[in-house]
């Protein structure tokens, strides 16, 4: 099915990714900064939890080229071929794409510009076009459907998914009408039962609408220099506060202190001043009012999305017509 779940660091663990894949869509776990034993533990749970295709998301600009290489090597060495690699943003050079593709893995790359989309499409990647309606870090400055339309005009044969602000099947249908083959959802899965988002964060998403979100660059500790859309908080309203610790969290068994302005999302293992932490959230929240199971989210959107088979046939026919 042409529905992808965003691999959200901290929020999308193996449980959410596997539930989505088992429901027939493309689940994805957030790899974020995990390496070595911590990444292996996640990969083990991911492959044990589903027999279907499922992904691992990595963020080139957060870890840098050497660490990214190590993470990719681990995925390729430790998982079966059905585990796909999802990248948020572009790596420094194309060697990473080459390596993933040479290993027979499917590649999903989220981009914010036509130029980056064209570069990823050269490697046969599923190109996810992210608009500024999106929750989380923002890769570009375009509206979602403008970017999709521009990418479609330049890449008639590419497999394109739209991301940003999609909280209802009607909005997904609009993205498909603009030229997308499918959609990628983040915020809609934050509130899933299987998501590891903190209960305060989930509840806040269900009651918020788009006007409760802001684009800022304040939550920069751990991921500097990229704008992000979050729920507005006391921190975004009054950025002059001290960079003191405001909570604690645990990631793959290791404890951490959470400073104010940390890029880390509050999870079910986080305590402290949750209401001041980075609650990434898209304009999609306006259409999301209930915490439901991942399978129910998938079923809701499946109604309006073309099946993967239909997308593949359509692309094949269109490229035949042009030959
Ligand atoms: C809580 C949260 C965490 C996110 N973390 C990541 C991440 O680790 N990697 C990634 O590729 N995208 C991440 N994203 C961005 C999504 O990939 C996607 O662009 C966005 O969720 C789409 O907009 P929507 O939230 O309105 O559906 C995150 C989004 C949210 C809401």
Give the pLDDT of residue 306. Answer: 79
- Residue 60's alpha-carbon distances to 57, 153, 173, in angstroms, are 10, 27, 31
What span, in angstroms and rounded, lies between the C-alpha atoms of 274 and 287? 23
Adjacent-strand bridge partners of 136: 229
For residue 187, the CA-to-ligand 1 centroid distance in Å is 7
- Residue 191's alpha-carbon distances to 178, 194, 292, in angstroms, are 27, 8, 7
What span, in angstroms and rounded, lies between the C-alpha atoms of 121 and 142? 19
Adjacent-strand bridge partners of 5: 185
Of all protein residues, the one whose alpha carbon is nearest to atom 5 of ligand 1 is 8
What span, in angstroms and rounded, lies between the C-alpha atoms of 237 and 104? 47
pTM: 0.96
Residue in the structure block whose two tokens are 């497999």: 159
| Lowest mean per-residue pLDDT among 191-195, 248-252, 256-260, 316-320 | 316-320
CA angle at residue 278 from 125 to 113, to 5 degrees?
30
Give the pLDDT of residue 88. Answer: 98
Q: Are 226 and 138 within 8 A, CB to CB? A: yes
Q: Is the dihedral of CA 122, 123, 129, 135 positive or negative?
A: negative
Give the up-direction half-sphere exposure of residue 283: CA atoms within 13 A in the CB hemisphere: 15
**For residue 278, pLDDT beyond 60:** yes
Among the atoms of ligand 1, which is closest to the Cα of residue 9?
8
Q: Which two tokens stand for residue 88?
A: 């948020």
Closest CA to 191 of 249, 237, 231, 132: 231
Give the pLDDT of residue 317. Answer: 67
- Mutate which of 10, 28, 108, 134 for ligand 1 pocket (most atoms within 8 A of beta carbon): 134
In short, whether 166's Cβ falls inside 6 Å of ligand 1 is yes
CATH of domain 3-193+292-322: 3.20.20.70
In short, whether 187's Cβ falls inside 6 Å of ligand 1 is yes
Among the atoms of ligand 1, which is closest to the Cα of residue 190?
1
Closest CA to 208 of 193, 187, 228, 177: 187
The domain limits of the chain are 3-193+292-322, 199-285
Confidence category of residue 315, pLDDT binned at 50, 70, 90: low
Of all protein residues, the one whose alpha carbon is nearest to atom 6 of ligand 1 is 8
Of all protein residues, the one whose alpha carbon is nearest to atom 17 of ligand 1 is 6
- Mutate which of 107, 186, 288 for ligand 1 pocket (most atoms within 8 A of beta carbon): 186
Give the pLDDT of residue 307. Answer: 76
Adjacent-strand bridge partners of 247: 258, 272
**For residue 118, pLDDT beyond 90:** yes
Among the atoms of ligand 1, which is closest to the Cα of residue 6?
17
Of all protein residues, the one whose alpha carbon is nearest to atom 14 of ligand 1 is 136
């Amino acid at each position: 099915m042409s529905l992808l779940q965003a691999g959200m660091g901290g929020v999308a663990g193996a449980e959410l990714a596997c539930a989505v894949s088992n429901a027939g869509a493309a689940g994805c776990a957030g790899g974020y900064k995990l390496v070595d034993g911590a990444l292996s533990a996640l990969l083990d749970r991911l492959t044990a939890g589903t027999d279907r295709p499922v992904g691992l998301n990595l963020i080139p600009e957060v870890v840098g080229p050497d660490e990214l290489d190590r993470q990719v090597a681990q995925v390729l060495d430790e998982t079966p071929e059905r585990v796909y690699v999802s990248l948020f943003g572009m790596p420094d050079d194309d060697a990473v794409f080459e390596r993933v593709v040479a290993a027979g893995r499917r590649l999903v790359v989220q981009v914010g510009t036509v130029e980056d989309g064209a570069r990823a499409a050269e490697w046969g990647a599923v190109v996810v076009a992210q608009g500024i309606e999106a929750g989380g870090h923002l890769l570009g400055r375009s509206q979602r459907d403008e970017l999709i339309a521009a990418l479609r005009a330049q890449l008639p044969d590419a497999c394109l998914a739209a991301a940003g602000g999609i909280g209802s099947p009607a909005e997904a249908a609009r993205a498909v009408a603009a030229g997308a083959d499918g959609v990628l959802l983040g915020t809609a899965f934050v509130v899933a039962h299987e998501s590891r988002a903190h209960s305060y964060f989930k509840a806040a998403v269900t009651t918020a609408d788009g006007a409760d979100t802001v684009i800022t660059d304040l939550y920069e500790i751990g991921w500097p220099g990229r704008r992000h859309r979050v729920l507005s908080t006391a921190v975004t309203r009054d950025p002059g506060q001290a960079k003191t610790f405001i909570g604690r969290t645990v990631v793959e068994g290791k404890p951490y202190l959470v400073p104010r302005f940390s890029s880390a999302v509050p999870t079910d293992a986080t305590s402290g001043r949750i209401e001041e932490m980075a609650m990434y959230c898209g304009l999609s929240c306006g259409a999301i009012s209930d915490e439901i199971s991942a399978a129910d989210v998938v079923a809701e959107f499946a109604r309006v999305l073309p099946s993967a088979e239909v997308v593949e046939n359509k692309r094949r026919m269109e490229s035949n017509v042009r030959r």
